[in-house]
Amino acid sequence: MFRKKRKAQNDNLVLSGNHNEPLLDLRSRNALYNEVFPYETILSMRQLYSRLESQIKVMPKRFGLTSAISQEGVSYLSRALGTTVAHDVGADVCIVETNWWSPSVSDPDGLGAVVSGKKGLNDVIISTNHPNLAIISAGYLSPNERSIAARSDSLKRILDELGERFDHIIIDLPAIQSTSEAIPLANLTDSLCMVVRQGVTSSQRVRKSVNLLGHLDVVGVVMNQVETYTPGFILNLFPEE
């Protein structure tokens, strides 16, 4: 089970008008992040960490999300998972974005500024509407700096320090086949999962990426933007309202 440091929050629940199901929102104090996660996304994240509990008995200290190719929704799901765990479990969670190749927000500072020595760690930790959830944006690093940063002792020390301050670190990783630095960054996790966007990523790309991560603890795959199709003859069996 997760180690609870405080009672799980209940003050950020909003009810949707259609299904009367709870939603979770994430708002950062500096307005860089502002989004609401629908019930289907929250449910998927709850299923993910429940599966982790059943498989390895504990949520990993450093848990990474990655994908085979870019634009699969890794950053979005990293924030959804971090928000869900912080809300449901009451653990202290920090989401760390490491994708300098395709950052989710435009922030000149962030992790890149700490790795390069321009900022201190406390300067880039972004507080949110959840008191036990923080975010560190990827920030900016030049192309020549990224390879060095991904393998640097500085980055390892940053994650070690965050590990002393937070129960769980959710690491938003770049796509495995988008940059050669994705593997060194993935090596910094305890466990990770692949995000696959339905109808976009081929099974061959996913298989190749999983093979490249074979030395790591890849716990599974999260399907993103899944659509189901119901044949018309089945829909005709239901009466019209």
Q: Is the pLDDT of residue 223 over 60?
A: yes
Cα separation, 142 vs 113, in Å, equals 11
pLDDT of residue 196: 87
CB 191 within 8 A of CB 64: yes
Average pLDDT over residues 37-51: 89
* Cα–Cα distance, 36 to 157 (Å, whole number): 32
Tell me which of 99 and 199 has the higher pLDDT.
99
| Arithmetic mean of pLDDT, 208-237 | 67
* Distance (Å) of CA 20 to CA 10, 58, 156, 173: 16, 31, 43, 34
Q: What is the DSSP letter of 99?
A: -
Per-residue pLDDT tens digits for 175-213: 999 999 999 999 999 999 989 876 666 788 888 888 899
Predicted local confidence at residue 64, as pLDDT? 96
The yes-or-no verdict on residue 103 having pLDDT over 90 is yes
Q: How far apart are CA 115 and CA 121, in angstroms?
A: 9
- The whole-number average pLDDT for the span 104-129 is 96
pLDDT for position 21: 59
List CB contacts of 5: < 8 A, sequence separation 6 or more.
Answer: 90, 91, 92, 132, 167
Domain ranges of the chain: 13-235
Q: Which fold has domain 13-235?
A: Rossmann fold (3.40.50)
Q: What angle do CA 58, 121, 178 make, to 5 degrees?
A: 70
Q: What integer pLDDT is reported at residue 51 of this predicted model?
A: 83
